[in-house]
Amino acid sequence: MSTESSGSPTAEFEKVAAAAAARGTVASFEPERLTLLERLQRFMHNYPTAAPAAVLLLAIAIFYLIVGERFLSPFNLSLILQQVVIVGMLGAAQTLVILTAGIDLSIGAIMVLSSVVMGRFAIEYGVPSGFALMIGLITGAICGGINGLLITRFRLPPFIVTLGTWSIFFALTLWYSESQTIRSQDISANASLLQWTGITFDLWGARITVGSIMLILLFAVLWYALNYTAWGKHVYATGDDPQAAQLAGIQTKYVLLSVYIVAGVIAAVAAWALIGRIGSVSPQAGVNANLDSITAVVIGGTSLFGGRGAIFGTLVGALVVGVFRNGLALAGVDVLWQEFAIGVLIIVAVALDQWIRRA
Amino acid sequence: MFKKTTLALALASCFMFPLASQAEGTIVGLITKTNTNPFFVKMKEGAEAKAKELGIELRSFAGKKDGDNDSQVQAVENLIAAGAKGILITPNDSKAIVPAIEKARAAGLLVIALDTPLEPANAADITFATDNFKAGELIGQWAAKSLGDKAADAKIALLDLNASQISVDVARNQGFLKGFGVDLKDPKKMGDEDDKRIVGNDITEGSEEGGRRAIENLMQKDPSINVIYTINEPAAAGAYEGLKALGKEKEVLIVSVDGGCPGVANVKAGVIGATSMQFPLLMASKGVEAIAAFAKDGTKPTTTEGLDFFDTGVELITDKPADGINSINAEEGTKKCWG
């Protein structure tokens, strides 16, 4: 980023060296006096979750002032958590992919296809619902595998591949489901396990669903995997600089393939959560889910350029969107301006990300 | 192996194959918004059955997704080139499709808009559609009658489609409110009413998930909601799931529009109190008949008395009939439902 002005005889590093010499040190990594803003920038660079967390707390405070007690009640907050379960799970899958500098536009379509597979196996073919669930998870893995293979074997850009498979999986969903919805009543009568994720229990005035707990657990597991396993380190390295990772002996192809497969499986878990939430199995569900998941990732501070970001940021990002939607709805704001606000959030998040990267 | 077949299938689904039948001579084109929504799937079935019966050739096209105008324009151009006698179209973009339609009419084709009118409506020869305002009015009247004296201090939640205020969305919503006895202010606009009984409007995208989120938020705003209007039956099913989680499903009345088979089954199960059924099959088969007649001797279809379109009818489906409102029960509705 250094700009060379033709008039100056000294290069940047010489200036720094000269300045350091004047201070009586030869070289040091001690930062010079930083302004408060620069410190903040550094801090956010080191803790990617800090920025979205600050936005979340600010949003909660603002809506508390506008809406009042009702917004901050444990019940309402747990409701927001319920509302972001699906987007949150897809966001978790999307985060893995984006950390490798890829993108998965088909993630929502994988979820819907998996849910239709689960529903049809359990209801139409009458197999035990645990088995139907397994088939659904395998479907997710296969879809993710197709994405991964096309990207690694044929060296196609992820954006293009998943744009294509988005259409493919969507078409398969419609063909397989015959555009039919399986009603909630049929599922609860014959395959209640599929709705297990929707079971609720009350805790200090909050209402927790099994899906909400699964969401938190999923993030905890991924957080551990990304930070404390070799695989996680490889994911970050592959996203940050694939050539360097390759040279360091990381099998980047297999890392990428594994990431897309894991993302597919998580999408199938999200399918289970989806059935729990809406009760029925509908091929029309989750149309905007893929873009909503990318929104959560971006607001959560994960860089679209790969290699930088934290998994919990995405959960916070999903919650920020959920808080905005719920808060604006409770404040009686027109849906049109709700959309507007989410758009502004995204732009601000990306701008913040760019600014942090300069630290 | 699996991958190969999936790819082949997927590739096949990427192209819109006109479905040619054996008949020679008259060609009729059907262009739907998408080929995914059961409503349009049913429409295509109705058109195909009728075309077969009359021995004419039907060619079907569809947009790739809601709002996809380009594919529809291409389909119109293809049909003109193929020498079709007429076109049945559910426009994705009522305004943007007009120049293409003008070309078709200039080339001597009869153009019938199905389900959604063009803007201006007279850009097509005629519109065959459900009277969506009436569909809304019926469920509004039914809800008011069912509540009886309690209608005066009802708490109403309105679950609409999206933020775009499209004609179908507005007509159903405003029809419902008029039927319920609410002052509409501007009948072309949703959400401008100031009746104290309305808790709020929210959007659902016409899906289960949207229906559930919308009712959760509106219930947070006012837990005493006891009437829910929904744009369609998937949104109604989602709203019911939300109510069930809150333990309120027994004390709230849900009304809807569509008449899809899962929706009618939900009327039977007591999930939905009443729904206004529309007839996509009829829309398409009547449309094919009209074009066949036009091809034979040039007769053009005429609008329903007092309306500016041909009304293909609505029917109220409920198992709890209200005085003075014609309806049929869910058992009967099951024989007529679509999707």
Mean pLDDT of the region A219-235: 95
Contacts of A274 in chain B (CB under 8 A): 209
**Alpha-carbon distances, residue A62 vs A39, A57, A67, A327, A351 (angstroms):** 26, 9, 9, 9, 22
The CA distance from B188 to the nearest CA of chain A, in Å, is 17
The answer on pLDDT for B24 being more than 60 is no
d(CA A80, CA A19): 53
pLDDT at A17: 60
**pLDDT value for B255:** 96
Would you list which residues of chain A are within 8 Å, Cβ to Cβ, of chain B? Answer: 70, 76, 79, 82-83, 86, 142, 146, 167-168, 171-172, 174-175, 179-181, 183-185, 198, 200, 207, 274, 277-280, 282-288, 325-326, 329-330, 332, 334-336, 338-339
Q: Which residues contact A218 (CB under 8 A, 6 or more apart)?
A: A89, A92, A266, A269
Q: Report the percentage of chain A scoring pLDDT > 90.
A: 47
Residue A149: CB partners within 8 Å, gap ≥ 6? A257
- Cα(A251)–Cα(A261) distance, rounded to whole angstroms? 16
Q: Tell me what pLDDT residue A334 has.
A: 81
Per-residue pLDDT reduced to its tens digit, A124-173: 888 998 999 999 999 999 999 999 999 999 989 999 999 999 989 988 99
Residues B197-240 have pLDDT tens digits of: 999 999 998 889 999 999 999 999 999 999 999 999 999 999 99
Taking the CA of residue A44 and the nearest CA in chain B, the distance in Å comes to 33
Write down the pLDDT at residue A31.
56
Do the chains contact at B237 and A287, CB–CB below 8 Å?
A: no
pLDDT of residue A20: 58
Q: Which long-range contacts (C-beta less than 8 Å, at least 24 apart) are formed by B162-166?
A: B162/A335, B162/B203, B162/B205, B163/A334, B163/A335, B163/A336, B163/A338, B163/A339, B163/B203, B165/B189, B165/B190
Mean pLDDT, range A32-52, rounded to an integer: 78
Token reading at A174: 């419609």
Tell me whether residues A284 and B163 touch, CB distance under 8 A: no
Strand partners, A209: A200
Angstrom CA distances, B242 to A122, B12, B159, B218, B228, stand at 23, 39, 13, 11, 12
In eight-state DSSP terms, residue A79 is H
Confirm if B221 and B200 have CB atoms less than 8 A apart.
yes
Q: pLDDT-based confidence at A355, cuts 50/70/90?
A: confident
The residue-averaged pLDDT of B300-313 equals 86
Tell which of A142, A143, A172, A184 to mutate to test the B interface (max B CBs under 10 Å).
A184
Burial environment of residue A121 by CB neighbours within 10 A (0 to 12, 13 to 18, 19 or more): buried
Pull the structure tokens for residue A108: 């929502």
Mean pLDDT of A295-313: 87
CB contact under 8 A, A274 and B209: yes
What does each C-alpha distance from B223 to A325, B239, B246, B252, B307 come to in angstroms? 18, 14, 10, 11, 40
pLDDT at B8 over 60: no
The dihedrals phi and psi of B324, each to the nearest 5 degrees, come to 80, 5
Which residues 139-168 of B have a C-beta within 8 angstroms of A? 162-163
The region that residue B131 occupies, defined by phi over 0 for left and psi between -120 and 50 for alpha, beta otherwise, is beta
Contact A162, A105 (CB under 8 A): yes
- Name the minimum distance, in Å, from the CA of B227 to any CA of chain A: 18
Residue B274: count other Cβ atoms within 10 Å of its Cβ.
27
A44 confidence band (pLDDT: 50, 70, 90): confident
The β-bridge partners of B156 are: B198, B227
Contact B239, B211 (CB under 8 A): yes
Mutate to test the interface with B, among A150, A156, A335 (most CBs of B within 10 A): A335
Q: What does the pLDDT read at residue A174?
A: 85
Average pLDDT of the segment spanning B283-293: 92
Give the Cβ contact number of residue B33 at 10 Å. 25
Q: Is the pTM of this model over 0.85?
A: no
The answer to whether residue B5 neighbours chain A at the CB level (below 8 Å) is no
For the ranges A194-208, A218-232, B246-260, the lowest mean pLDDT is seen at A194-208
Q: Read off the tokens for B251.
A: 């004390």
Per-residue pLDDT at A29: 59
State both tokens at B154: 């009802």
DSSP string, B257-322: EE-BHHHHHHHHTTSSSEEEEE-HHHHHHHHHHHHHHHHHH-------TTSSSEE--EEEEESS--
Rounded to whole angstroms, how far apart are CA atoms A150 and A144? 10
A338: chain B residues, CB-CB within 8 Å = 163
Judged by CB atoms within 8 Å, which residues 182-241 of B form the interface with A? 191, 200-203, 205-209, 212-214, 216-218, 220-221, 234, 237-238, 240-241
Angstrom distance (rounded) from CA B183 to CA B165: 18
Q: Are the Cβ atoms of B9 and A332 closer than 8 angstroms?
A: no
pLDDT score, position B264: 94
Question: pLDDT at residue A301 above 90?
Answer: no
**Residue A204 CB: number of other CB atoms within 10 A?**
8
Q: Which one, of A126, A117, A169, A177, lies nearest residue A145 by Cα?
A: A169
* pLDDT for res B183: 92
Rounded-to-integer distance, Cα B67 and Cα B75, Å: 15
Statement: residue B16 has pLDDT above 70: no
Please give the share of chain B, as a percent, with pLDDT higher than 70: 93
Residue B294 pLDDT greater than 60, yes or no: yes
pLDDT of res. A228 = 95
Band (B15; pLDDT cuts 50, 70, 90): very low
User: Token pair for residue A199?
Assistant: 């079971």
Q: Which residues are CB-neighbours of B247 under 8 A, at least 6 positions away?
A: none
What average pLDDT does this structure show over B70-90?
A: 93
Q: Is residue A12 very low, low, confident or very high in pLDDT (cuts 50, 70, 90)?
A: low
pLDDT tens, A232-286?
A: 999 999 999 989 998 999 999 999 999 999 999 999 999 999 999 998 898 878 7
Q: Tell whether the model's pLDDT for residue A13 goes beyond 80.
A: no
Q: Determine contact, residues B230/B219, Cβ cutoff 8 Å.
A: no
Q: Which residues of B touch A284 (CB under 8 A)?
A: 36-37, 206-207, 234
Model confidence band, residue A66 (pLDDT cutoffs 50, 70, 90): confident
Contacts of A140 (CB under 8 A, 6+ apart): A110, A111, A114, A264, A265, A266, A267, A268, A269, A271
What are B184's two structure tokens? 């509409």
pLDDT given at position A6: 47
At residue A348, the pLDDT reads 82
Q: Give me the pLDDT at residue B40, please.
A: 87
What are B112's strand-pairing partners? B88, B126
For B133-152, give the DSSP string. HHHHHHHHHHHHHHHGGGGG
Q: Would you say B287 and B128 are in contact if contact means Cβ atoms under 8 Å apart? A: yes
CB-based contact B114:B151 (threshold 8 Å) = no
Decide: A295 and A317 in contact? Cβ < 8 Å.
yes
B200 CA: distance to closest CA in chain A (Å): 7
| B15 and A CB contact within 8 Å | no
Judge contact between A278 and A82, C-beta under 8 A. Answer: no
Mean pLDDT computed over every residue of chain A: 86
Measured between CA atoms, how close is B130 to chain A, in angstroms? 22
| pLDDT confidence tier of residue A339, bands split at 50, 70 and 90 | confident
Residue A342 has a CB neighbour count (10 Å cut-off) of 17
Contacts of A25 (CB under 8 A, 6+ apart): none
Closest A-chain CA to B271:
A185
Retrieve residue B264's tokens. 């009618």
Residues ≥6 apart with Cβ < 8 Å to B232:
B161, B206, B256, B257, B258, B260, B263
B213, closest residue in chain A (CA to CA): A83
Is the pLDDT at A5 greater than 60? The verdict is no
Work out the average pLDDT over A32-61: 81
Place of tokens 């088979």: B261
Q: Which residues of B touch A142 (CB under 8 A)?
A: 2
CB of B41 within 8 Å of a chain A CB? The answer is yes
pLDDT value of residue A325: 86
- On the question of pLDDT at B3 being above 90, the answer is no
As a whole number of angstroms, the distance between CA A34 and CA A37 comes to 8
